[in-house]
């Protein structure tokens, strides 16, 4: 059995699971990132040790927000974990639990889970996209996570889809994340509907037939389609799996998105486009984290 840790800006989830990714027991708590890294790391260690007492655990995998150095097990400086700078996370946890600990980007962890036991199961190549507060991705080929030289393969949020768009903090001008994420939709909502409105209201208004809300979603989908077309032409994955909070409104998103992607592809690729909605939902992060150790052991 392995333990998976999903370290988020808001919550921490820790689960022990079998080799098939089936969760046996799960624990969780608030991250309280504003208190700094040490209290959160102490919580992670305590939850792991609690599970160790009841289960025969071989190793631990952690999915965490980037940027990070997966090979060295260091969290560099994630925007949603304030004051977490150059934290040697795996080293700190290994010294307390006396088991090998492996670190990976949280989107990569979710990609691994969806590729192996989720919507991409049985496919040779799977690209996973999460559209939430931000936009991230991960690529799995033949069951193996492709991480890249610095562990940043799949960081599609900074892909430029409109060089004439507005500037965004910590991103390229016209980056996909700045134009198609939940944050981007929420920013448009405030400008159209006033303060206090966000992405949630946009989807609600669109379902009620509001034209302005529908136009906000349509614009975000157009940018997301450009990003997907770029991925298809670069990697030609068998399946693209879409998850994250924004994609929960799949009735408004998936079919219209496919209609926008198809014309952007080479004609020979159009019949083969497969867009699927993620199956594991909130479990993808922690399940994928538990699958991380076997990826390192295969190297």
pLDDT score of 298: 62
CA 212 to chain centre: 29
State residue 253's pLDDT score.
86
Q: Assess whether pLDDT exceeds 90 at residue 133.
A: no
The pLDDT of residue 238: 98
- Closest by CA to 135, choosing from 113, 106, 163, 115, is 106
| pLDDT mean over 108-127 | 96
Instruction: Report helix, strand or coil for 145.
Output: strand
Q: Is the pLDDT of residue 185 over 90?
A: yes
Q: What mean pLDDT comes out for the span 172-192? A: 94
Alpha-carbon distance of 126 to 264, in angstroms, equals 20
- Range ranked top by mean pLDDT from 17-21, 43-47, 153-157: 43-47
- pLDDT, residue 67, reads 85
How far, in Å, CA of 60 to CA of 83, rounded? 24
**DSSP string covering 73-98, please?**
TEE---TTSTT--SB-HHHHHHHHH-
* Residue bearing tokens 């090979």: 71
Give the mean pLDDT of 50-75: 93
CB 148 within 8 A of CB 162: no
What is the Rg, in whole angstroms, of the alpha carbon atoms belonging to the chain? Answer: 19
Written as six digits, the tokens of 268 are 């020979």
Residue with tokens 């655990």: 57
Q: Please, what is the angle between helix 106-117 and helix 284-298, to 10°?
A: 90
Q: In this predicted structure, what is the pLDDT of residue 219? A: 96
CA dist 56 and 129 (Å) reads 33
Q: What per-residue confidence (pLDDT) applies to 299?
A: 53
pLDDT on residue 149: 80
What CA–CA distances, in Å, run from 255 to 65, 82, 112, 261? Answer: 29, 37, 24, 10
Return the minimum-mean-pLDDT range out of 86-95, 133-142, 166-175, 263-272. Answer: 166-175
Which of 223, 229, 197 is closest to 210 using CA atoms? 197
Cα(157)–Cα(253) distance, rounded to whole angstroms?
Answer: 18
pLDDT score for 42: 97
């Amino acid at each position: 059995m392995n333990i998976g840790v999903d370290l988020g800006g808001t919550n921490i989830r820790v689960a022990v699971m079998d080799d098939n990714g089936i969760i046996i027991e799960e624990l969780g708590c608030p991250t309280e990132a504003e208190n700094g890294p040490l209290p959160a790391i102490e919580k992670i260690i305590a939850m792991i040790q609690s599970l160790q007492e009841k289960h025969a655990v071989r190793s631990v995998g952690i999915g965490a927000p980037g940027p990070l150095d997966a090979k060295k097990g260091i969290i560099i400086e994630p925007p949603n974990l304030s004051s977490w700078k150059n934290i040697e996370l795996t080293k700190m946890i290994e010294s307390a639990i006396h088991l090998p600990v492996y670190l990976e980007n949280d989107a990569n962890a979710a990609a691994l889970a969806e590729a192996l036991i989720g919507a991409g199961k049985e496919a040779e190549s799977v690209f996973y996209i999460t559209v939430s507060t931000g936009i991230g991705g991960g690529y799995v080929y033949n069951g193996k996570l492709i991480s890249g030289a610095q562990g940043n393969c799949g960081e599609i949020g900074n892909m430029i889809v409109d060089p004439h768009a507005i500037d965004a903090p910590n991103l390229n001008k016209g980056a996909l994340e700045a134009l198609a994420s939940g944050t981007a939709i929420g920013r448009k909502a405030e400008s159209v509907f006033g303060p206090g409105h966000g992405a949630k209201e946009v989807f609600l208004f669109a379902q009620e037939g509001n034209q302005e809300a529908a136009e906000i979603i349509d614009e975000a989908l157009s940018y997301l389609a450009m990003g997907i077309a770029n991925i298809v032409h670069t990697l030609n994955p068998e399946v693209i799996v879409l998850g994250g909070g924004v994609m929960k409104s799949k009735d408004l998103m998936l079919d219209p998105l496919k209609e926008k992607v198809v014309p952007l592809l080479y004609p020979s690729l159009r019949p083969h486009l497969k867009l699927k909605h993620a199956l594991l939902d909130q479990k993808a992060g922690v399940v994928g984290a538990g699958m991380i150790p076997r990826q390192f052991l295969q190297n």
